[in-house]
Homo-oligomer: A and B are copies of this chain.
Amino acid sequence: MIAWEANIRRVVPYVPGDQPKGDRLVKLNTNENPYPPAPGVRKALLEMDYDRLRKYPDPIASDLVDVLAEYYGLGSDQVFVGVGSDDVIAMSFLTFFNSAKPILFPDVSYSFYKVWADLFRIPFETPALDAAFRICPEDYFKENGGIIFPNPNAPTGLYLPLDQVEAIIRRNPDVIVIVDEAYIDFGGTSALKLIETYDNLLVVQTFSKSRSMAGLRIGFAMGNPQLIKALNDVKYSYNSYTMNMPSLVLGKEAVKDDTYFKETLKKIIDTRERSKKRLRELGFTFPDSMSNFIFASHKTVPAAEIFEALRKEQIYVRYFKQPRLDDSLRISIGTEEEMNVLFGFLEHYLAERA
């Protein structure tokens, strides 16, 4: 072995999901929003001051932070922005999870939590979801170094009612509890209102799903000013300029157009509810999703087989080949047209299989 190899950080690299290319495909595999960003974003893109690209962006990202603070009724010192919620959460792990005690997150959950814990050498335990894929709050009532869970959970789509979220936060005043609300805009109630009551709560959200901006990479955290300052201290110790100029300019416009935001959400929620009905008719079962995807299992046909059949038709959904998950498909909610292509094929395919 070469000597320097001994000093390389060893990690189990996360493998990003398929990003198939082509125009005719139906892409329901990465929980992207099927509708474009707000019209104001298009306008800002066309009017963007090209010469400004030569200058460093605002390190404080104040335009974006301020518009988020105003939208959510917070002070600007209660909002932190990063390069997608992945950057925000990774930085939160580095900032807040420095105890020798294990942090806690559900065994079935966003797969990156384990990857970040591994990267930063943070001990962790993963309490199991119950048989119906529910988080059991009492599993988090024991000594720990910090807690994180998505709400709604991924890849199940299940929403944990706010009183149960609050119970977890209240029972853990000595550690930071991060509620990862990537999908909260699709019907759940945010824990945001609890940050005035609990100084140990950090709420993380993203522009990638509900705000149609996965391509811009914007995530944000909200919490008490002390937590936000600690995050900024670590951020300024890593990279002063994480948010580039286009993301600051376009992100701001996305927040300003609340009418478009709410209309888009309503369309996706309506399509989701119709999709639930169609899936049930087709013989699928699933936890009741409050997100922009449905985690569905067929009563008779194995998920792996449906996944392959769909892929041959250029219809992409997500399949997780791992215990507890390998009998389900995670199907993102697309446009009505995209869902009709999916259901049209499934109807045909499942009838032939019967």
Chain A residues in contact with chain B, CB under 8 A?
Answer: 2-9, 11-16, 19, 27, 30, 32-37, 41-42, 45-46, 48, 50-60, 83-84, 86-87, 90, 94-99, 115-116, 118-119, 145-146, 173-176, 199-200, 208, 212-217, 226, 230, 232-234, 236-247, 250
Give this chain's copy count: 2
Q: Which residues of B contact A48 (CB under 8 A)?
A: 45
| A54–B83 touching, CB < 8 Å | no
Q: Which residues of B contact A200 (CB under 8 A)?
A: 2, 4
Q: What are 24 of the A-B contact pairs (CB < 8 Å)? A: A4-B173, A4-B175, A4-B200, A6-B99, A9-B95, A9-B98, A12-B237, A15-B236, A16-B59, A16-B236, A16-B241, A19-B59, A30-B56, A32-B56, A36-B50, A53-B216, A83-B244, A116-B237, A119-B237, A215-B245, A216-B244, A217-B242, A217-B243, A244-B247
The distance in angstroms between the C-alpha atoms of A84 and B42, with both chains bound, is 25
| A237–B87 touching, CB < 8 Å | no
| B9–A215 touching, CB < 8 Å | no
Q: Which 7 pairs show the lowest CB-CB distances between chains A and B?
A: A3-B174, A215-B245, A16-B59, A13-B233, A246-B246, A54-B212, A53-B215
Interface of A is mostly: loop
Assuming A14-B236, A239-B90, is B7 touching A146 (CB within 8 A)? yes
Closest to A145 in B: B7
| B244–A215 touching, CB < 8 Å | yes
Kindly list 19 other residue pairs between chains A and B, CB separation below 8 angstroms, not including A19-B59, A36-B50.
A3-B173, A4-B174, A7-B176, A9-B94, A9-B98, A11-B234, A14-B236, A14-B240, A19-B58, A37-B54, A86-B239, A116-B238, A118-B237, A119-B234, A215-B244, A216-B244, A216-B245, A217-B243, A244-B246
Q: Which residues of B contact A234 (CB under 8 A)?
A: 9, 11, 119
| B57–A215 touching, CB < 8 Å | yes
A302 to chain B, nearest CB (A): 28
The distance in angstroms between the C-alpha atoms of A86 and B244, with both chains bound, is 13
Q: Which residues of B contact A250 (CB under 8 A)?
A: 53
The distance in angstroms between the C-alpha atoms of A261 and B90, with both chains bound, is 36
* Partner among B52, B59, B244 whose Cβ is within 8 Å of the Cβ of A244: B244
The distance in angstroms between the C-alpha atoms of A50 and B11, with both chains bound, is 36
User: Which of A30, A33, A37, A246 has the largest number of chain B CB atoms within 10 A?
Assistant: A246
A104 to chain B, nearest CB (A): 14
User: Which of A30, A94, A240 has the largest number of chain B CB atoms within 10 A?
Assistant: A240
The distance in angstroms between the C-alpha atoms of A174 and B6, with both chains bound, is 9
| B4–A96 touching, CB < 8 Å | yes
* Partner among B7, B50, B60, B84 whose Cβ is within 8 Å of the Cβ of A241: B84
The distance in angstroms between the C-alpha atoms of A42 and B9, with both chains bound, is 40
The distance in angstroms between the C-alpha atoms of A14 and B242, with both chains bound, is 14
Q: Which residues of B contact A9 (CB under 8 A)?
A: 94-96, 98, 230, 234
Closest to A99 in B: B7
